[in-house]
Amino acid sequence: MKSVKKSMRPNERREAILKALCRRRQDTIVNLANEFGVSIRTIKYDIDELTLSHPIETIRGRYGGGVKVADGYYIGRKYLKPRQRELLLRVQTELSDEDAILMQSILDDFTL
């Protein structure tokens, strides 16, 4: 892995971390710290910050541990907010069978 410049601002680094995780789907804190030229603690802070707005989770474990992004999540893709999903589920019960199937496909495509 090539090392990224230390001169990155925190927001730039977090965006780059998110992009890297979306490409790799999972990585270790140590690898990310080495790649971005920062401490393990800094990467942990960055991951904590990213989890507030992205479906990222940390996995404990000596060999299988690390950071991963939720299955099906990709940058730039739009997702339904929980309240939007709840509304569509309520409306779905009032639809014809054909429209209910279409609504379900929308929910499947845009819900994590």
Q: What's the mean pLDDT when you consider all of the chain?
A: 88
- Taking the model in full, what pTM does it have? 0.66
Question: Could you report the per-residue pLDDT of 66-80, keeping only the tens digit for each?
Answer: 999 988 788 877 778
For residues 53-64, average pLDDT: 84
In angstroms, what CA-CA distances link 33 with 8, 13, 44, 59, 89?
A: 13, 11, 9, 16, 42
Question: Could you report the per-residue pLDDT of 7-37, keeping only the tens digit for each?
Answer: 789 999 999 999 999 999 999 999 999 999 9
Token pair of 103, please? 């609504």
Q: How many CB atoms lie within 10 A of CB 11?
A: 10
**Domain interval for residue 99:** 78-112
Q: Give Cα 45 to chain centroid, integer Å.
A: 16
Same domain, 98 and 65: no
* 82, part of any domain: yes
Same domain, 17 and 41: yes
Same domain, 55 and 93: no
